[in-house]
Copies of this chain bind each other. A is one copy, B any other.
Amino acid sequence: MAVKVNEYYSLIQNNYLFVEIARRVDEYQKENPDANLIKMGIGDVTRPLAKSVVEAFKRAVDELGDADTFRGYGPEQGYDFLIEDVIENDYKPLGVELKNSEVFISDGAKCDTGNFQELFSKDNIIAVTDPVYPVYVDSNVMAGRSGKMGEDGFYENIVYLPATSENDFVPSLPSEKVDIIYLCYPNNPTGTTLTKEQLKEWVDYAHKNDALILFDAAYESFIKTPGIPHSIFEIEGAKDVAVEFRSYSKVAGFTGTRCAYCVVPEEVYVKDANGNKVQLNPLWNRRQSTKFNGVSYPVQRAAQAIYTPEGKKEIQENLDYYVKNAQVIRESLEKMGLKVYGGVDSPYIWFKTPNIDSWSFFDILLKEAHVVSTPGAGFGPSGEGYLRLTAFNTYENTVEAMDRISKLEF
């Protein structure tokens, strides 16, 4: 006898994508210490925190340094001051009404989307779009909801819904029965969006098939095109069948500060083994109360600052900055004659490699242009033949990177 490992961990085939990229980059940088690498791979921001965020952050730290205003454990679900600002600013303008108890503040959308599957039994069928943010798949593989990965790069028992140039990056509804569907719009990695009509088809599918949609809206702040939904709850009936994840990482440069939230409407029910309805909201509350202890108080105050008039203005300036970068990337790639997607309502630009596989083209960009990208194949089999660039570097670096790439011969 001995301690028995979670066997499902061994099903994971590769390193977590961004860990593997970091490994290749580190190795190259070590061998070429003088190479001036420009990182446009991982979706990590570069603009500093907004002034009003910094001020609120420090004010809250001072509160913790004073016995009269010190705070210890906060609510696992987050402070009402932040939850109320979320509801008032992120949802009310969309016509979406929420209760405080439906919003859960967390330390990241990665944590939330990774942990949420815990609420479900092992024998649910998971569907993901392909390519896809790896956390949705990996967290389900680790929980035993897949079989092995085949030679085709697909895990058994997971339903993959391809999104490629062939279907204009609008994945088809599943032809088989699925239970839980991960959707991310604006999409990571393809940078594409769905219209309200297209998203409504998913909500209708969920209603018809008793399915649940886990909707990742981490990039909604980049939406500029009118009519593109910022939240799945803008779609009629979505509150019965969807959970939404959002993050301050991209909208406010919080990738290193860590704050996010998820919305679990009271209307969402799942079923127990006897077919009885079980409300989802209290289950997530239970999970968070048992295994999480809330987000750092000063971080929640920092996040709150983005909802002030000054904060809104400041973060919009940062967003505009990245949008300009996205435009530079799009236009440069198009000039090279490449097929380019995304980058309009999204910080991600997705493009077809010039008849080279993703990882090889990643290596070419790394070694010949000293630009770090993300290979499309890292996001799933349908990402093969594509590459992702992000708009999160500085404007100067973005221009420099595109100049270097433009000079490559391929």
Footprint of B on A, CB under 8 Å?
Answer: 1-7, 9-10, 12, 16, 19, 42, 44-49, 51, 53-54, 57-58, 61-62, 64-67, 70-74, 107-108, 110-111, 114-115, 118-121, 123-124, 134-135, 138-139, 142, 177, 179-180, 209-212, 253, 255-258, 270-273, 275, 278, 283, 286-287, 289-299, 302, 394
Give the residues in chain B near A64, CB-CB below 8 Å: 48-49, 54, 253, 256-257
Contact of A255 with B72 in the complex, beta carbons under 8 Å:
yes
Contact A3 B65 (CB under 8 A): no
For the complex formed, measure the closest distance between the CB of A355 and the CB atoms of chain B, giving whole angstroms.
Answer: 32
The distance in angstroms between the C-alpha atoms of A292 and B275, with both chains bound, is: 33
Q: List 12 A-B contacts (CB under 8 A).
A: A2-B271, A3-B212, A6-B118, A7-B273, A10-B272, A46-B72, A53-B65, A73-B255, A114-B291, A142-B287, A255-B293, A256-B294
Contact B61 A48 (CB under 8 A): no
Residues of B with C-beta under 8 A to A271: 2-5
Chain B nearest CB, measured from A6 CB (Å): 5
A57, A74, A119: which has the most chain B beta carbons within 10 Å? A57
Which of B62, B120, B211 is in CB contact (< 8 Å) with A6?
A: B120
Cβ contact within 8 Å between B57 and A283? no
- Residues of B within 8 Å of A118, CB to CB, are 6, 142
Q: Nearest chain B CB to A238's CB is how many angstroms away? A: 15
Q: Is the CB of A42 within 8 A of B107?
A: no
CA distance A3 to B107 in the complex (A): 26
Determine if A4 and B48 form an interchain contact, defined as CB atoms under 8 angstroms apart. no
Q: How far is the CA of A72 from the CA of B253 in the complex (A)?
A: 7
User: Do B257 and A108 touch across chains, with their CB atoms under 8 A apart?
Assistant: no
Contact of A48 with B67 at beta-carbon distance under 8 Å, contacts A5-B278, A121-B7 already known: yes
Q: Which residues of B contact A5 (CB under 8 A)?
A: 119-121, 270-272, 278, 283
A304 shortest CB reach to chain B, Å: 15
CA distance in complex: A47, B71 (Å): 9
Residues of B within 8 A of A212 (CB): 3
Is B293 in contact with A107, judged by CB distance below 8 angstroms?
A: yes
The distance from the CB of A359 to the nearest CB of chain B, in whole angstroms, is 20
CA distance A384 to B139 in the complex (A): 39
Question: Please, which residues of chain B bring their CB within 8 A of the CB of A119?
Answer: 5-6, 9
Residues on B with beta carbons closer than 8 Å to the beta carbon of A48: 64-67, 70
* Nearest CB in chain B: distance from A110 CB, A: 5
Cβ of A269 to closest chain B Cβ, rounded Å: 9
Q: Is the CB of A286 within 8 A of B16?
A: yes
Contacts of A256 in B (CB 8 A): 64, 70-74, 294, 296-297
Q: List chain B residues, Cβ under 8 A from A209.
A: 1
